[in-house]
């Protein structure tokens, strides 16, 4: 079983995907952390985020690894850049501001898509991102697309930042989400789109448990 969960930023992909995977004892991969790791590498190298050529050269010379965490402690995967655990650094505001731009480059997407497909080869995985059902795993047995209003997503992101003791103004979060949505939807390579055979779930005013139950019903009806 391979389950693809796609959707825009802060639509609930990670929390829902992890919770669902734990219920069925499946692996879970938030592919977004890989693009964030690539962004950390770019920022550390002091490259201009618009410098595709040098960024492509950089990406082809770094090592990004994902190490699966235990579902028992409810933690997410750890992400490593050239052997260093950067799981905390990928959530920095500067990464939030630049990750969508870095993600549009073909060299970045090719390298990370290849890694993601390799991880998914054994099956029994829930994979969350923006192009899982359309590009990474177009033949996934179940495809889910999560939607939520801009206001709802901004509220969730604001609460996430607050819980992590990071101070971001609400209007800055709104601005960042609008920018990310535009870049993600308009990029030439693997844009954020809904797969034709995806089940669409609007997560507005729904709890995480509500959405997980909906996905469980979808999986049961598919008779996998």
Structural domain that includes position 199: 2-30+93-218
| Lowest model confidence (mean pLDDT) among 65-74, 96-105, 212-221 | 65-74
- Please give the Cα distance from 180 to 98 (Å, whole number): 9
Q: Is residue 39 part of a domain?
A: no
- Please give the Cα distance from 136 to 173 (Å, whole number): 28
Q: What contacts 44, CB < 8 A, 6 or more positions away? A: none
pLDDT over 60 at 72, yes or no: no
Q: What is the CATH number of the domain that holds 97?
A: 3.40.50.300
Query: Per-residue pLDDT tens for 36-61?
Result: 999 999 999 999 999 999 999 999 99
End-to-end CA distance of the chain: give it in Å, rounded. Answer: 7
Q: Is residue 12 part of a domain?
A: yes
Q: Is residue 38 part of a domain?
A: no
Number of domains in the chain: 1
Q: What contacts 148, CB < 8 A, 6 or more positions away? A: 7, 8, 10, 11, 12, 156, 202, 203, 204
Structure-token pair, residue 134: 């359309």
Q: Is residue 83 part of a domain?
A: no
| Lowest model confidence (mean pLDDT) among 45-49, 59-63, 86-90, 165-169 | 165-169
Residue 223 is predicted with a pLDDT of 63
Query: Per-residue pLDDT tens for 96-155?
Result: 889 999 999 999 999 999 999 999 999 999 999 999 999 999 999 999 999 999 999 999
Q: Is residue 57 part of a domain?
A: no
Q: Is residue 137 part of a domain?
A: yes
Q: Where are the alpha helices (DSSP H) in the chain?
A: 13-24, 32-44, 52-59, 93-102, 106-120, 150-163, 170-186, 208-222
């Amino acid at each position: 079983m391979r389950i693809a969960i796609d959707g825009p930023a802060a639509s609930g992909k990670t929390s829902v995907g992890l919770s669902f995977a734990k219920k069925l004892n499946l692996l879970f991969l938030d592919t977004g952390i890989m693009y964030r790791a690539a962004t950390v590498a770019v920022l550390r190298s002091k490259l201009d985020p618009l410098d595709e050529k040098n960024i492509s050269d950089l990406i082809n010379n770094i090592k990004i690894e994902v190490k699966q965490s235990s579902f028992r402690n409810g933690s997410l995967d750890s992400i490593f850049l050239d052997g260093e655990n950067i799981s905390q650094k990928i959530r920095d505001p500067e990464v939030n501001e630049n990750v969508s731009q870095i993600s549009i480059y073909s060299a970045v997407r090719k390298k990370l898509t290849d890694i993601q497909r390799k991880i998914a080869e054994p099956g029994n995985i829930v994979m969350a991102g923006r192009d899982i059902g359309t590009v990474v795993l177009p033949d996934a047995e179940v495809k889910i697309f999560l939607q939520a209003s801009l206001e709802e997503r901004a509220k969730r992101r604001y609460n996430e930042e607050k819980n992590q003791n990071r101070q971001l103004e609400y209007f800055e979060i709104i601005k960042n989400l609008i920018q990310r949505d535009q870049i993600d939807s308009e990029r030439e390579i693997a844009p954020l789109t809904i797969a034709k055979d995806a089940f669409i779930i609007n997560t507005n005013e729904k709890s995480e448990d509500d959405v997980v139950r909906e996905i469980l019903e979808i999986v049961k009806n598919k008779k996998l």
